[in-house]
């Protein structure tokens, strides 16, 4: 069987057009077709990986009358020849005509392609620029879905509202091809949450925002990481948990538990708020001289250093609180102490400062 990259057309392969009132429309003739940046290179890289390139696109302009069928065919034939696309499947219907099985997010177009090209859909990928494309890929059962674009707060809110989540959001098809290559080759079974600008070697890396200096494997919330259950031997999270809201921390603990193999470990640390609340009491009651740190350090450990958006602390934990949360997530074996990290060659400045009170936890599935 063959594997495929299913691409949306307008907004992924060629640029969208906009009417004077701002409404989106698709090219109505060849002169209006402008290929998106990095599409040629991206498709070439994907074909080198052995994938069929299949475009699946809704084209209701035929129903509305501004796009003639022969012009649609002319545009598609041009794109196929120009970019090396194997085939373009179109739905030319509109819901006003009644129901059809080919208009995305239904899977009729993918089913046609699968029959024509003997495709292994479960090991294929979907790439689109809107959530309807992502839903199409999910409905069809593809391996991973990609949204072309950038992470924006309004789009992330819409994803949560509609409960449609792309596995990855990347700005162009070249980066998509590089990510797919890595996914196809990747054998790592260790994951670092919130890796930031200094990722630990030997791990897959996750963070919630793209970083120009780091190639992240997952740009999403930690409880949404799209890995198979029982697939990881270790999850590492240093300086991360205190940035979660309580409900999100509990979701993360539960998701990490699912991702870990039996015997796999979740290694993390969190400020010990029993100690830091004492420092804060000293600071606010005229006894700052008793504290081992300057006032700004005490405030920052309590509320976050706030060096960038998202660098705020949203939860505080005592030992009893964190152990109870880990137990509720399913973990039954817990080891404590900074040696958990130093024995692995992991170093942080706070490890050598006992007064920089943190809870160091290794929870085993």
Q: Identify the CA nearest to 123 among candidates 51, 35, 174.
A: 51
Length in residues, the chain: 365
> What CA–CA distance (Å, rounded) separates 333 from 329?
12
CA of 349: how far to CAs of 61, 136, 195, in Å?
A: 61, 47, 17
Separation of alpha carbons 13 and 105, rounded Å: 18
Smallest CA-to-CA distance from 80 within 45, 43, 108, 113 is with 43
Distances (CA, A) of 216 to 23, 169, 196, 338: 34, 11, 9, 27
CA angle 217, 165, 62 (to 5 degrees): 115
How many CB atoms within 10 Å of residue 216? Answer: 20
Distance, C-alpha 25 to centroid of its chain: 29
DSSP secondary structure of 55-90: EEEE-THHHHTSS-HHHHHHHHHHHHHHHT-SEEEE
Describe the strand order of the beta sheet including 144-148 as a list of residue ranges.
87-91, 52-58, 4-7, 125-128, 144-148, 168-170
Q: Is the peptide bond before 105 cis (omega within 30 degrees of 0)?
A: yes
Two tokens, residue 357: 């009170």
What is the rounded CA–CA span in Å between residue 304 and residue 272? 14
Residue 81 burial by Cβ neighbours in a 10 Å radius (0-12, 13-18, 19+): exposed
Query: How many C-beta neighbours within 10 Å does residue 98 have?
Result: 7
Active site amino acids: 8, 10
């Amino acid at each position: 069987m063959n594997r495929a990259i299913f691409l949306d057309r307008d907004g992924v392969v060629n640029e969208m057009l906009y009417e004077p009132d701002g409404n989106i429309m698709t090219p109505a003739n060849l002169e209006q077709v402008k290929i998106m940046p990095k599409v040629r290179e991206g498709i070439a890289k994907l074909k080198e990986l052995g994938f069929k390139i299949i475009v699946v696109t809704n084209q209701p302009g035929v129903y509305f009358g501004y796009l003639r069928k022969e012009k649609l065919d002319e545009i598609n034939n041009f794109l196929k020849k120009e970019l090396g696309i194997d085939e373009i499947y179109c739905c030319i219907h509109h819901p006003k005509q009644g129901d059809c099985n080919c208009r995305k997010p239904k899977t009729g177009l993918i089913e046609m392609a699968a029959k024509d090209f003997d495709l292994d859909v479960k090991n294929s990928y979907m790439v689109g620029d809107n959530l309807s494309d992502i839903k199409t890929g999910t409905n069809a059962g593809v391996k991973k879905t990609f949204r072309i674009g950038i992470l924006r707060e309004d789009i992330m809110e819409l994803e949560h509202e509609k409960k449609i989540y792309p596995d990855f959001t990347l700005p162009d098809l070249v980066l998509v091809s590089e990510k797919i290559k890595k996914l196809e080759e990747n054998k790592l079974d260790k994951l670092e949450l919130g890796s930031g600008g200094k990722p630990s070697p030997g791990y897959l890396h996750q963070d919630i925002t793209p970083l120009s200096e780091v190639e992240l494997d997952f740009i999403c919330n930690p409880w949404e990481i799209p890995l198979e259950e029982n697939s990881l031997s270790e999850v590492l999270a240093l300086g991360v948990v205190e940035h979660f809201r309580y409900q999100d921390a509990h979701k993360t603990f539960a998701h990490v538990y699912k991702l870990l193999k039996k015997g796999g470990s979740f290694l993390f640390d969190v400020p010990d708020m029993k100690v830091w609340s004492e420092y804060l009491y000293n600071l606010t009651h005229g006894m700052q001289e008793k504290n081992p740190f300057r006032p700004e350090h005490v405030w920052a450990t309590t509320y976050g250093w706030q060096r960038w958006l998202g660098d705020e602390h949203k939860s505080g934990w005592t030992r009893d609180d964190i152990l109870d949360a880990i137990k509720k997530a399913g973990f039954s074996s817990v080891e404590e102490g900074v040696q958990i990290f130093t024995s692995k060659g992991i170093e942080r400045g706070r490890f050598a400062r006992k007064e920089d009170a943190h809870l160091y936890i290794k929870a085993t599935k």
